Amino acid sequence: MTLSMFDCNCMVGMRADRRPGEPWSLEQLRADMQSCGIADALITHAMSRDLDPATGNRELGRLLAGTRNLHACWAILPPATHELGTPADFVREMHAQHVAAAIAYPHTHNYSLSDWSLGPLLAALAAAHMPLLLPFTQFSWDEAERLCSVYPDIPFIVTGLNYRQLRHLLPLWEKHRNLFVDLSWCSINDGLGYLSERGAVPQVLFGTNYPRYDPGAAVTMVTYARISDEEKSAVAGGTLRKIINGIRRDRP
Amino acid sequence: MSQHERFREAGISGSALAGEIVIDAHMHFGTFHNFFIPRPDVESLIQSARRIGIQRMYGSSLQAIRGDAEAGNAFAVALHREHPDAFFPYIVFKPNYPELAQQTIDLAESSGAKRFKIHDDGNDFPYDHENYFPLYEHANRTHSVILVHTFGKVHVLPMMTMAARYPEMKILLAHSGIVDEECYRDAVRRHDNIFLETCSSMAWYGLLERLVGMAGPERVLFGTDMPFMSPDQQIGRILFAKIPDDQKRQILGLNAQRLLG
């Protein structure tokens, strides 16, 4: 069967921590997607992480204008600094530009995920059912548990989770189904086969961590997995498309 | 079809590599202390290998690496007897049990395994410590292979010294290029008895192509690190690499066939 791959963990732009040989352009991303059979990608801009979210989000909008298979993901900040406008204005602008997800870098950008800091924006994202990406190095498991409890309408997508985290992840999945993970580093032997038996495959999304990683490694994690064709289709892109189609563009 | 289409197509379709020699030069048996491995059992390892098309697995016991080398190595040898076409043991040598050094070497001789694994996890002995010398002298005399766990120059630099001192010993550097890429390049350029193994949970962009550039396709060997990592992931790094199919064949199995027997 042919899978319609939708990469949930992808970045463009020149990065502060780039290793020689890693690409940064949209043209190279397109070529690598085509080579690996990847149809769609959810993309953040390096400047949204490495410089400042306002600049990076704006640049991403310019880069992706007119594209149909490349979907923007904007970085967030606490509303109190007014760097990204009010929560309502920010989410309205996301809708206007067809942004498909948000991403938080609380460690890198030096802020708290607690409600006294981010609460008003998280409430606006929750009203819109907007997915929020949480890179693995940016939060604690206790913070993730609290976010999933308090904001059940936000699909939280943990990106770059390493293969040694199942003792944290499985207890969380017993409580919360609004927590998703991307596959890019979650590479334990027969992981998807095992999660299928636990009924947890609907929580797993195809992601590559491009351009840090070779995208082909994540592709074969899906294509060779010991799961059904239906489950492969969901992991490859079906679940992410469902999440994005669930965004309430009329909110706020 | 371009020269790297056959394997790329297999990766996209998820089809087993029928008609190809595919050998896993680096895997393990057993469980581990600091994270959950859902499928460490032998049947699951065989199943995972078969989905890809891996015919032979060269592995070491995690029990031997983490503690009881005697029991772990005995398990690995017995597993080979039980599955003589599928599993082939590396005998784990422990520098912190010097009183068992000769016994470990004797087990390798009696079992016919001219392969050893060394790993500093838990013992922190540098690879140029004198407690390793009985192993290196044996490996040098018998032209045995030593698979060495590495994470950059802290491990590779001592092995370069040992490679020069024991030129007949074959050294296979696990996780090549995972960090400090330049030390792996220097190791293979300076020492003909050093080879590179590919497995890495972090699938660095373009690393496979760079390893081939450093060592030539004839000195790079495919490995999975099962059951830590998934062959499903590790195979993708080879299948989609921007190198010709004949080089992929060397990496996937022909080199291991030559080096590991």
Running DSSP on this structure, what letter comes out for residue A137?
Answer: G
Considering only CB atoms, B205 lies closest to which of A190, A191, A213, namely: A213
- Compare A231 and B3 and report the one with higher pLDDT: A231
Q: Provide the β-strand partners of residue B24.
A: B57
Look at residues A38, A43, A71, A31 and name the one whose alpha carbon lies nearest to residue A236.
A38
The 10s digit of each residue's pLDDT in A23-41 is 999 999 999 999 999 999 9
Q: Which CATH superfamily is domain B5-260 in?
A: Metal-dependent hydrolases (3.20.20.140)
Residue B206's CB is within 10 A of a number of other CB atoms, namely 18
Contact residues, chain B, for A188 at CB < 8 Å = 37-38, 227-230
Domain range list for chain B: 5-260
pLDDT bucket at B261, cuts 50 / 70 / 90: confident
**Structure tokens belonging to residue B129:** 């410590």
pLDDT bucket at B124, cuts 50 / 70 / 90: confident
Considering only CB atoms, B237 lies closest to which of A170, A217, A222, namely: A217
- Greatest CA span in chain B, whole angstroms? 58
Look at residues B239, B14, B10 and name the one whose alpha carbon lies nearest to residue A226.
B14
Backbone angles phi, psi at B173, to 5 degrees: -85, 110
Q: How many interface pairs between A and B have CB atoms less than 8 angstroms apart?
A: 143
* CA–CA distance, B129 with B17 (Å, rounded to integer): 42
Domain range list for chain A: 5-13+24-245
Is residue A98 within 8 Å of residue A72, measured between CB atoms?
Answer: yes
* CA–CA distance, A216 with B238 (Å, rounded to integer): 9
Interchain pair A216, B236: CB under 8 A:
yes
Q: Provide the β-strand partners of residue B57.
A: B24, B87
* CA–CA distance, B203 with A213 (Å, rounded to integer): 5
Answer whether residue A174 shows pLDDT above 70. Answer: yes
Answer whether residue A54 shows pLDDT above 70. Answer: yes
Interface test with B, best of A189, A219, A226 (most B CBs within 10 A): A189
The alpha-carbon gap from A250 to the nearest alpha carbon of chain B, in Å, equals 38
Considering only CB atoms, B39 lies closest to which of A165, A194, A221, namely: A194
- Greatest CA span in chain A, whole angstroms? 49
Answer whether residue B118 shows pLDDT above 60. Answer: yes
Answer whether residue B137 shows pLDDT above 70. Answer: yes
Neighbour-count burial of B218, counting CB atoms closer than 10 A to its CB (0-12 exposed, 13-18 middle, 19+ buried): middle
Interchain pair A223, B11: CB under 8 A:
yes
Answer whether residue A251 shows pLDDT above 90. Answer: no
Q: Which CATH superfamily is domain A5-13+24-245 in?
A: Metal-dependent hydrolases (3.20.20.140)
The alpha-carbon gap from B181 to the nearest alpha carbon of chain A, in Å, equals 11
Q: What is the pLDDT of residue B42?
A: 96
Look at residues B35, B200, B70, B213 and name the one whose alpha carbon lies nearest to residue A164.
B35
pLDDT bucket at B19, cuts 50 / 70 / 90: very high
For residue A211, say if its preceding peptide bond is cis, omega within 30 degrees of 0: yes
Interchain pair A226, B47: CB under 8 A:
yes
Residue in the structure block whose two tokens are 């959950």:
B36
Contact residues, chain B, for A193 at CB < 8 Å = 39
Whether ipTM tops 0.90, in short, is yes
Considering only CB atoms, A185 lies closest to which of B36, B47, B202, namely: B202
Answer whether residue B101 shows pLDDT above 90. Answer: yes
Q: What is the pLDDT of residue B87?
A: 97
Answer whether residue A212 shows pLDDT above 60. Answer: yes
Neighbour-count burial of A207, counting CB atoms closer than 10 A to its CB (0-12 exposed, 13-18 middle, 19+ buried): buried
Residues of A with CB under 8 A from a CB of B: 19, 21-23, 35-37, 162-167, 170, 184-185, 187-194, 209-226, 232
Interchain pair A216, B48: CB under 8 A:
no
Q: What is the pLDDT of residue B4?
A: 59
Sign of the dihedral defined by the CA atoms of residues B173, B179, B183, B185, in that order: positive
Single-letter amino acid code for the residue at A41:
A
Q: How confident is the model over B133-149, as a mean pLDDT?
A: 98
Interchain pair A37, B12: CB under 8 A:
yes
Is residue B177 within 8 Å of residue B153, measured between CB atoms?
Answer: no
Contact residues, chain A, for B13 at CB < 8 Å = 223
The 10s digit of each residue's pLDDT in B168-207 is 999 999 999 999 999 999 999 999 999 999 999 999 999 9
